[in-house]
Amino acid sequence: MAKDVIIACDFASAAQTLTFLDRFPEGEKPFVKIGMELFYAAGPEIVREIKRRGHRIFLDLKLHDIPNTVRKTMRVLSSLDVDMTNVHAAGTIEMMKAALEGLTREDGTRPLLIAVTQLTSTSEERMQQELLIGATINETIVKYAQNACEAGLDGVVCSPLEAGMVKQACGAAFMTVTPGIRFADAAADDQVRITTPARAREIGSDYIVVGRPIAAADDPVAAWRRCRKDFLNL
């Protein structure tokens, strides 16, 4: 399975994003993540422009709606030719199956589809008290990953510290895409359950999503290269 570093382009405008990507030399095209902030600010055109520049894109919009709406929305996202996109596993197996149908193009090709299990910002206490979910957070993560697997999805977004548990439950081929990555010598920012690129590889992450350690670095290209070197063991 292809493993790589995905840079979270958490910028508020197309101009800022393109200025950032301009720093990378021709021939070095990082895999990038476009989230809700940038997509809602700059629209589908920023996706097309970044594709034109030759990057692979993870469109992180975390869809969660009735199956019919998700199916039709995924058809639109698929036509943007993104490489990976996602839904919330909490939308149920039926919704995840509908997402997969919508994403699949007439020729049978489709972007990778992964599911968010539990957001890493959700604590076990809040999940149990506010959402009335009686299980432990790890039990829900494993169950949601199994549901995603049953629906035919390619993998899940989870904390790198949960990647091993997901692989054990769903098999080695089931992808884990993991944010919460920091260099050993760097600040954690607001992330809590973090690990290093090298440790994420050891635990079994297939893709690591890295934002501020690259985007806010003095030399983002050097930080991206360091991250790839550590994660891919180059």
Residues labelled as active-site residues? 62
Is residue 210 a contact point for ligand C5P (CB under 6 A)?
Answer: yes
Is residue 10 a contact point for ligand C5P (CB under 6 A)?
Answer: yes
Which region among 70-78, 133-141, 197-205, 207-215 touches ligand C5P (by CB under 6 A)? Answer: 207-215
Q: What 3-state class would DSSP assign to 141?
A: helix
Q: Which of residues 131-160 bind ligand C5P (CB under 6 A)?
A: 157
Q: Which is nearer to ligand C5P, 70 or 210 (CB)?
A: 210
Q: How far is CA 116 from CA 54, 96, 144, 154, in A?
A: 26, 11, 8, 12
Is residue 64 a contact point for ligand C5P (CB under 6 A)?
Answer: no
Q: Which is nearer to ligand C5P, 50 or 157 (CB)?
A: 157
Q: What 3-state class would DSSP assign to 149?
A: helix
* Closest of 19, 75, 76, 83 to residue 51, by C-alpha: 83
Which region among 47-55, 87-95, 107-115, 205-213 touches ligand C5P (by CB under 6 A)? Answer: 205-213
- 200 Rama class: left (phi>0) / alpha (psi -120 to 50) / beta: alpha
Give the whole-angstrom CA distance, residue 99 versus residue 135.
26
Q: Which is nearer to ligand C5P, 35 or 155 (CB)?
A: 35
Is residue 162 a contact point for ligand C5P (CB under 6 A)?
Answer: no
Q: Which is nearer to ligand C5P, 156 or 170 (CB)?
A: 156
> CB 14: neighbour CB atoms within 10 A?
16
Beta-bridge mates of residue 115? 87, 156
Applying CB under 6 A, the residues found at the interface with ligand C5P are 8, 10, 35, 119-120, 157, 179-180, 189, 191, 209-213
